[in-house]
Structure 1
Amino acid sequence: MPFVKATDAAIPLHVVEAEACEAFLTTLPDAARNWAAQQGFTGALGQVLTVPDAAGQPLMALFGFGTSAKRARSRFHMGTAAAKLPKGTYDIASGLSGRDLEEAALAWLLASYKFDRYRKPAVMGASLVAPKGIDAARIETIAQGEILTRNLINTPASDMGPQELEEAARALASEFDADINVITGDDLIPANFPMIHTVGRASTRAPRLLDIRWGTAGPQLTLVGKGVCFDTGGLNIKPGGSMGLMKKDMGGAATVLGLAHMIMGVGLPLRLRVLIPAVENAIDGNAFRPQDILTSRKGLTVEINNTDAEGRLVLADALTLSDEDDPELVISMATLTGAARVAVGPDLSPFFTDSDTHASALSKAAAQVADPVWRMPFHAPYEEMIEPGIADLDNAPKGGFAGSITAALFLRRFVESPYIHFDIYGWQPTAAPARPAGGVGMGARAVLEALPEMLGL
């Protein structure tokens, strides 16, 4: 739901911190103050109260903003107000400014998200007037990019295979007048994308490489997203409990498409390239096998010690391609390892980079836009763990230690350009303000905010 235009009928919404609640209430008319006291409004985080006028119509609405300590434990608090307030048009009248106001506005838009492709669309409730003092068009663009990511991840694999992911990429390219090229099926072999073809060849749905280009001037940014539309684990088949969420294994692709929407929508002055290896890791007579040795686009050989570590294989070929036109920055995003979830849980986006400058820019930006990230190390002493001896690289080192780091080190072998890798989850396990359970973007808003500093825009 976009912002709405201001009208005389808009209901003033006051955001009230717990510490300032008593003082705020003294500024209200007697009837409104008494009503708030009778309803027990204290400014506690998440409290919502509609104050009626003498005719019983809404005079104003109050939203409790709690204490700074309480707010620090979550984010997107205004999403609670958007969900709880009765139907109507609201205008934030007091209590927020600067970054807090931007976050509140975005939270309101994201709180309206419902994945209703397979059921009757939900009736939209409260709407918000575009707050004064923010770039409303930018916030709407960011929300649209996030909603694109959520919709792609939430769509089951029956309706989101490589072909459907291609269609989504084509729709995005068309929207922003970008160029797109797709290499499909057996054409991947003469085009020298052997590992993308190998991982996807067992599926009835052909593997492909999606390649979007936009912009004609400025530094080049290349985004690479893991597009494994469903992952059975291959011949190292996953147990049922681990396969249940594998529709989200294309979360990296969904996130870079959402990020690309944001970048093009706000018009960043750069040249953008988006590469997505789109495959389904299935089981058939021609599926690749444990102990196979594959030769990558870069020429490095890879021993397959687990067919369920397929994401790094398709990314490797795409990363090699990304490097071939010398971009100023390459960023990959992938739902790559369970080890990353063990390390930081589902809410943080771990990232790897050799650049302290890029790491600092990302961490600062993440704090500003409420999109938390955490730097992980490209730890050189672990390089030996991905060198099996029989081939150049091992796709699944034994031992179980440092799985996210060894996966990142594997990917780094295929990139010479400045490189950042995100090992994201792409899923909200339990509902939170403005983030219903299900697919979710991670890291994209932090990257968008950091790009001007990282690329000197």
Structure 2
Amino acid sequence: MTVALAPAGTKALPIHVLGSEDVALWAGQQSDRIRTWVDVSGFKGAIGTALMIHDAEGHPEAALIGYGTQAARKRDRFAVAAALPKLAPGTYRIDSGIDPHHLEQEALGWLLACYSFTRYRENSVDHATLVTPGGVDAQRVSILAEAEFLTRDLINTPASDMGPAELEAAARGLAETHKAKITAITGEALLKNNLPMIHTVGRASDRAPRLIDMHWGTSGPKITLVGKGVCFDTGGLNLKPGSSMGLMKKDMGGAANVLGLAHMIMASGLQVRLRVLIPAVENSVSANSFRPQDILTSRKGLTVEINNTDAEGRLVLADALTLASEGEPDLIVSMATLTGAARVAVGPDLAPYFTDDDVAATSLDLAARRMADPVWRLPFHEPYEAMIEPGIADLDNAPSGGFAGSITAALFLRRFVSEQDRYMHFDIYGWQPVAAPGRPKGGALQGARALFAALPDMLDL
């Protein structure tokens, strides 16, 4: 699928983007023919509406797109993209109606609205093409859209075709594209390489667990991305009910998101030394499944009491985070579809994140607004540390009681990096439950675009 804006100067129909308060003024400045057509068509400038304008011979000469009210635009992240289904196929350019500061966001939304998942069913929809607006970096917008399409495709693919081996293959394909180095430690070799919890979680499946390790870049600050790659999560012996298992193909959403972010970094040529670590497993049920009340010893040497085999994501991340910390990077970022508690706290649209670094948090929050990629900071609340200390072992993977589940999971993960590490953890949903402008129902990239835009400030690039 081509993910690109048309070059500036391409012949195209002009688009006038009109807010609800602008329609009457604009129409009053047009010919009687156009003014009458706008009036009889009932076009009021609402978000999601469009109107084709034809010349006296019936040929299209322009289009109007509704931009709604200022209040309505706060509720629709990509307001222009909402009108794409109403436009006739063709090539268009935005002539007026959008603040220059919002042009990149709306151009990106246009591309994102053209996504469709076609692996199992052809989609013959012919989307309208947008000419690169003035002042917009077409290459940058295309890179952002490509990253999102990659993430969506990975998450949308069912576990039957996206197990640990297939996730490794996708990572290898990305590495080949960007000339990155990549290795994988698989199966029993995980034990020989002191990655015991990744092995334990994945050993019940006949699809071998693995640790995927990608390196790119030779100069600049070191950043390590760690993505949860649980390709399907049955819950293990603490089996999920069917209603909770239905979306578990998306439990590798953290891995999909860090691969999308890695594409942004590599395709943009960011001057960093990038490392991507993905513990890829399937949490299955068999005679050798790990059990409730088992005590595991992690790569770091910390012992973990298993009080719920369905809290497996933090176990595989723990070994990967320890490995990340050993490389002494300037920044470690983990991304995971980790807890239902995060969804209860902020819903599916916001990407909650944790960090002790106030400067990094400020950079991220500002970038999130620019990039239309909302995030929300949650605390590493240290008084809750006692909740993850069971007494019989160093740590508890699933504290009882249900309180502060996202925070206790984040505190658990923080135990596996050193106190000197700059660390950020994202507890994402990775799924768009209801279609919205530029965001079809299905797999979603969350927080990665904001983080990409914030990295230059965070790392003094």
**TM, length-normalised to structure 1:** 0.98
- 1:163-217 per-position Cα deviation (integer Å, ceiling 9, x unaligned): 0000000000000000001100100001000000000010000000001111111
Out of 432, 448, 451, the residue aligned to residue 452 of structure 2 is 448
Q: Which residue is equivalent to 1:14?
A: 16
8 Å Cα contact 2:15/2:94 also seen in 1: yes
Matches within 5 A, 1:114-129: 114-129=116-131
* Number of residue-to-residue matches in the alignment: 457
Counterpart of 1:439 (choices 439, 443, 459) is 443
Question: SS at the partner of 2:290?
Answer: coil
1:366 aligns with one of 341, 346, 368:
368
Residues 82 and 127, structure 1, Cα contact 8 Å, conserved in 2: no
Contact 1:83 1:111 in 2 (8 A): no
Q: After TM superposition, list the pairs within 5 Å mapping 1:234-383 onto structure 2.
A: 234-383=236-385
The residue type paired with residue 176 of structure 1 is H
Q: Deviations for 1:15-39, whole angstroms, at most 9, x for unmatched residues? A: 1112222222223233222211111
SS of structure 1 residue aligned to 2:14? strand
Q: Is the 8 A contact 1:153 1:250 kept in 2?
A: yes
> Residue 55 and residue 306 in structure 1: after superposition, are their counterparts in 2 closer, same or farther (change >3 A)?
same
| Uncovered stretches (5+) of structure 2, i.e. residues with no partner | none
| Equivalent-residue separation in structure 2 for 1:120 and 1:19 (angstroms) | 40
User: Which of 393, 406, 409 is residue 407 of structure 1 equivalent to?
Assistant: 409
- Between the aligned partners of 2:292 and 2:455, the Cα distance in structure 1 is 40
State whether residues 352 and 377 of structure 1, in contact with CA within 8 Å, keep that contact through their aligned partners in structure 2: yes
Q: 1:420 aligns with which of 421, 424, 441?
A: 424
How large is the Cα RMSD of the aligned pairs?
1.0
Which residue of 2 is the match for residue 216 of structure 1? Answer: 218
Superposed CA offset, 1:288-320 (max 9, x none): 000000000000000000000000000000000
* Residues 254-295 of structure 1: per-residue CA shift (max 9 Å, x gap): 000001001111111111110000000001111100000000
CA distance in 1, matches of 2:262, 2:285: 32
Q: 1:434 & 1:350 partners in 2: Cα distance?
A: 21
**Preserved contact between residue 350 and residue 424 of structure 1 (Cα < 8 Å):** yes
The sequence identity of aligned pairs, in percent, is 65
1:172 aligns with 2:174: yes
Deviations 1:96-135 (A, max 9, x none): 2333111110011011100111012333221111112111
Give the equivalent residue in structure 2 for 1:88. 90
1:230 to 229, 232, 243: 232
Residue of structure 2 in register with 1:396 after alignment: 398
2:114 aligned with 1:112, yes or no? yes
Q: Deviations over 1:375-405 (max 9, x none)?
A: 0000000000000000000000001100000
Offset of residue 429 of structure 1: 0.6
Distance 1:170 1:29, change over 3 A: same
Q: Name the structure 1 match of 2:434.
A: 430
Separation of aligned partners in 2, 1:99 and 1:213? 35
Tell me which amino acid in the other structure corresponds to 1:274.
V
CA distance in 2: counterparts of 1:91 and 1:6, whole angstroms: 9
- Are the aligned partners of 1:352 and 1:408 in contact in 2 as well (CA < 8 Å)? yes
The equivalent of 1:3 in structure 2 is 5
Residue identity in the other structure for 1:231:
D
Q: CA deviation at 1:7?
A: 6.0
| 1:337-356 deviation digits (Å, cap 9, x = unpaired) | 00000000000000000011
SS in 2 for 1:431: coil
Question: 1:152 maps to what in 2?
Answer: 154
Separation in structure 1 between the aligned mates of residue 10 and residue 197 of structure 2, nearest angstrom: 60
1:240 Cα deviation from its structure 2 partner: 0.4
Match of 2:104 in 1: 102
Partner of 2:59: 57
1:3 Cα deviation (Å)?
1.4
* Worse overlay, 207-216 or 13-22: 13-22
2:47 and 2:78 map into 1 onto residues whose CA distance is 11
Corresponding letter in the other structure for 2:190: L
Aligned residue in 2 for 1:137: 139
Provide the rounded CA distance (Å) in 2 between the counterparts of 1:308 and 1:99.
44
Runs of 4+ more than 4 Å apart: 6-9
**Which one-letter code corresponds to 1:211 in the other structure?**
D
- What SS is found at the alignment partner of 2:110? helix
Describe the SS at the equivalent of 1:119.
coil
Distance in 1 separating the partners of 2:10 and 2:264: 32
Distance of 1:98 and 1:187 partners within structure 2: 54
1:196–1:207 contact (8 Å) kept in structure 2: yes
Residue 403 of structure 2 aligns with an amino acid whose one-letter code is: F
- Say which SS state the counterpart of residue 402 (structure 2) adopts: coil
The one-letter code of the counterpart of 2:192 is: P
| Contact 1:161/1:205, CA 8 A, preserved across alignment | yes
For residue 336 of structure 1, give the secondary structure of its aligned residue in structure 2: coil
Indicate how the Cα distance of structure 1 residues 359 and 418 shifts in structure 2: closer, same or farther if over 3 A, else same. same
Query: 1:6 offset after TM fit, Å?
Result: 4.9
Q: Which moved more, 1:3-12 or 1:130-139?
A: 3-12
Tell me the distance in 2 between the aligned counterparts of 1:291 and 1:155: 33
AA aligned to 2:15 is: L
Contact 2:8–2:133 (CA under 8 A) maintained in structure 1: no
Give the Cα–Cα distance (whole angstroms) in 2 for the partners of residues 7 and 263 of structure 1.
29
